[in-house]
């Protein structure tokens, strides 16, 4: 099963294609480009289900997705604490360098958007529920 995790946001969205433990694609896209990228990912990766975080503007995103991809299953999932989990995951993949090594990563904010990591967390939560 291939799912597309989406972390919705006002300005940017995190997207991640997840198939079990494999994440073949993840990225952060501007809100205005969201739907075009989602449609491309659904076609390219043969996505079965879209997993949408239940946070900021999720109802609006749900309506857009159902309008553009009427045959695709779209489910919402609880986003609680996903940002903290994603931050930990980000720092595992991007080890701090220089003086940042001394400071605990729990006290640091990544230097770039990591909404794509949140999208991966949401997709993984969906797989655990299934």
Residue 55 confidence (pLDDT)? 87
Tell me, what's the pLDDT at 130? 82
pLDDT, averaged per 10 consecutive residues of the chain (130 residues), comes to 96 96 96 96 97 92 95 95 95 93 92 97 94
CB atoms within 10 A of CB 40: 11
- The pLDDT score that the predictor gives to residue 56 is 79
Indicate the DSSP class of residue 56. Answer: T
> Domain range holding 53?
3-129
β-sheet bridge partners, residue 52: 6, 76
- The predicted pLDDT at position 89 comes to 96
Token pair for 11: 């300005």
Give the end-to-end CA distance of the chain in Å, rounded to a whole number: 11
CATH number reported for the structural domain that contains residue 41 in this entry: 3.30.420.140
Strand partners, 26: 16
Total domains present in the chain: 1
């Amino acid at each position: 099963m291939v799912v597309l995790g989406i972390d919705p946001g006002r300005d940017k969205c995190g997207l991640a294609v997840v198939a079990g433990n494999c994440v073949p694609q993840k990225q952060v896209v501007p809100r205005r480009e969201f739907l075009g990228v989602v449609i491309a990912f659904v076609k390219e990766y043969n996505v079965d289900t879209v997993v949408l975080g239940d946070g900021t503007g999720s109802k609006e995103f749900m309506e857009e997705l159902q309008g553009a991809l009427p045959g695709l299953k779209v489910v919402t999932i609880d986003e609680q604490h996903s940002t903290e989990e994603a931050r930990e995951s980000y720092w595992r993949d991007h080890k701090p360098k220089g003086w940042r090594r001394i400071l605990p990563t729990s006290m640091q904010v990544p230097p770039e958007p990591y909404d794509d990591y949140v999208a991966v967390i949401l997709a993984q939560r969906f797989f655990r529920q299934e």
